[in-house]
Amino acid sequence: MTVRVGVIGVGTMGQDHVVRLQRRVNGAEVVALADMDHARLEAVAASVPGARTMASGDDLIVADDVGGVVIASWGETHEQYVLSALAAGKPVFCEKPLAPEAEACQRIMDAERAGGRRLLQVGFMRRYDQAYRALFRTLREGALGAPLMIHCAHRNPGVPSFYAGGMPITDSAIHEIDIVRWLLEQEISAAQVLRPRRASRARPDLQDPLLLLLEMCDGTLVDVEVFATATYGYDIRCEVVCESGTVALGDGSRVVVRNGGARSDRVPDNFQERFRDAYDAEFQEWVNGVERGQTGGPSAWDGYAAAVAADAAVASLQSGERVSVSMLARPRFYEPTVAQPVLMNR
Ligand SMILES: NC(=O)c1ccc[n+]([C@@H]2O[C@H](COP(=O)([O-])OP(=O)(O)OC[C@H]3O[C@@H](n4cnc5c(N)ncnc54)[C@H](O)[C@@H]3O)[C@@H](O)[C@H]2O)c1
């Protein structure tokens, strides 16, 4: 059975997902597109045979032939579209952030729970990356003992001019916030941001680089370097220091070149290159779940937990103080062990 997908927001990420759904994911067909930028919408639609353009995201959500909704518009618009998709009873994939504020994530959780079944997956694609998955398995095998510290780095070659203020947290470190919760199966209890010497090229409205410290509920300490203008490539690092050893992401290059007395390998250009296979796996799992009538993957709770921790980190970026993370208790509905009822196939 083919899942008929509608995509809202056809900018960088939305276009990437449209191509993925058409060419690299089995069992999906893109049937409808919406974007408030009508010129862009028409240009993208011209390269998607069989997809029609919709006047608005809300029209797309309620269209009879749309069986699954992908939201890749700007973060502030996510809540409205997710709530509409939940009200229509449609499976929905929402790019991160689920919503910029924790209260909005709470409203989404309330709406999903009121419907009595999971319909929402949030786009934390690192959980589908083979290297992070190998790291997760190594920790579970137990030979290294308990994790004590995690060192992460999130380096971009550069960032657009609108990337400013809290975006090193809300746009970049949000991925580390999610992945360390997933790796450790622990929530974050406090955050603090340290401001190293600024790169000379950093704009005045951007603290670059910065160091984010996260305290996990069991005492594990995580440091995340965010360096938005690192220039040399897109470099993601993660090393877990355990009682009796360490485990780290490999460099990920498929080949190493030895030449002229030097050894080199490739640093990805951007997140699309580094995480391409992870995005593909993430969407394949989403499509399979929609087909089976069972949504899995990162949940509204994960979107909420990341938003609360990010809020604390942004507050610390402003104040310089350590900020406690204050969260709701996790509803039983979002416990990983609770089986979800199976939906009708669409
Ligand atoms: N998972 C990841 O690694 C990853 C990477 C990049 C971006 N993202 C997320 O994807 C989302 C989109 O980011 P992007 O980089 O593609 O942005 P973008 O600006 O390139 O594209 C966003 C598109 O959404 C459209 N849009 C905005 N508001 C809309 C509305 N109300 N209704 C319909 N269309 C609307 C815009 O016109 C634009 O075409 C963001 O939430 C971003 O955080 C996730």
Q: How confident is the model at residue 268 (pLDDT cuts 50, 70, 90)?
A: very high
pLDDT score recorded for residue 343:
42
Per-residue pLDDT averaged across 217-244, rounded? 98
Ligand 1 mean position, distance from CA 13 (Å): 6
Q: How confident is the model at residue 118 (pLDDT cuts 50, 70, 90)?
A: very high
Instruction: Give nearest CA residue, ligand 1 atom 41.
Output: 75
Average pLDDT over all residues of the chain: 95
Rounded percentage of the chain residues whose pLDDT exceeds 90: 95
pLDDT score recorded for residue 61:
98
Instruction: Give nearest CA residue, ligand 1 atom 6.
Output: 13
Query: Residue 345: is its pLDDT beyond 80?
Result: no
213 φ/ψ angles, rounded to the nearest 5 degrees: -105, 130
Report strand pairing: 245-248 vs 147-155.
unpaired
181-230 pLDDT per residue, tens: 999 999 999 999 999 999 999 999 999 999 999 999 999 999 999 999 99
By most ligand atoms within 8 Å of CB, the mutation choice from 8, 10, 13 for ligand 1 is: 13
Whether the Cβ atoms of residue 250 and residue 274 lie closer than 8 Å to each other: no
Q: Full-prediction pTM beyond 0.85?
A: yes
Atom of ligand 1 nearest to the CA of 15: 16
Per-residue pLDDT averaged across 154-165, rounded? 95
Q: How confident is the model at residue 254 (pLDDT cuts 50, 70, 90)?
A: confident
Q: How confident is the model at residue 251 (pLDDT cuts 50, 70, 90)?
A: confident
Per-residue pLDDT averaged across 90-101, rounded? 96
Per-residue pLDDT averaged across 266-285, rounded? 96
Q: How confident is the model at residue 338 (pLDDT cuts 50, 70, 90)?
A: very low
279-323 pLDDT per residue, tens: 999 999 999 999 999 999 999 999 999 999 999 999 999 999 999
Whether the Cβ atoms of residue 293 and residue 344 lie closer than 8 Å to each other: yes
Q: Which residues line ligand 1 (CB under 6 A)?
A: 8-14, 34-37, 40, 57, 72-75, 77, 95-96, 123, 125, 271
Per-residue pLDDT averaged across 160-186, rounded? 96
1-57 pLDDT per residue, tens: 899 999 999 999 999 999 999 999 999 999 999 999 999 999 999 999 999 999 999
Whether the Cβ atoms of residue 35 and residue 48 lie closer than 8 Å to each other: no
Ligand 1 mean position, distance from CA 78 (Å): 10
pLDDT score recorded for residue 337:
59
Query: Residue 341: is its pLDDT beyond 80?
Result: no
Ligand 1 mean position, distance from CA 319 (Å): 29
Atom of ligand 1 nearest to the CA of 71: 11
pLDDT score recorded for residue 346:
32
Q: How confident is the model at residue 339 (pLDDT cuts 50, 70, 90)?
A: very low
By most ligand atoms within 8 Å of CB, the mutation choice from 35, 58, 98, 273 for ligand 1 is: 35
Atom of ligand 1 nearest to the CA of 80: 31
Query: Residue 100: is its pLDDT beyond 60?
Result: yes
Query: Residue 262: is its pLDDT beyond 90?
Result: yes
